[in-house]
Amino acid sequence: MVGAIMTRMFIIAFAIIVAGAAQAAAPEFDMDHFCADFAKNRQGGDLGGMAKAVCLISEESTKALVDKAWDHVSTQNKEACLKSAGQSYVGLATCLSSVQAK
């Protein structure tokens, strides 16, 4: 009897822990592809490599901010921001910041 009660309590506690950890993760964008397109569209010639490198640094550092903010935004706002972000963490962070400020 006590064993069955303890088992049920363990299962309930485990389910609560798993449910809390099961929040949706922020999206994964292909930063290398995005930044290659960014540099190509800027037609920087010899500076194209530098433009891509700066873009990658910006995207990587901004991804950390997006990861932290993601769970604090409503599903509706997440969807709207994903549509407007254009596969860019900088664009996504800008949108998330604007919807959180409201």
Average pLDDT across each block of 10 residues of the chain; the chain has 102 residues. List them in order. 46 40 77 91 73 94 93 92 94 91 62
pTM surpassing 0.75?
Answer: no
DSSP secondary structure letters along the chain: -HHHHHHHHHHHHHHHHHHHH-PPPPP---HHHHHHHHHHHTT-GGGHHHHHHHHHHHHHHHHHHHHHHGGGS-HHHHHHHHHHHTT-HHHHHHHHHHHHH-
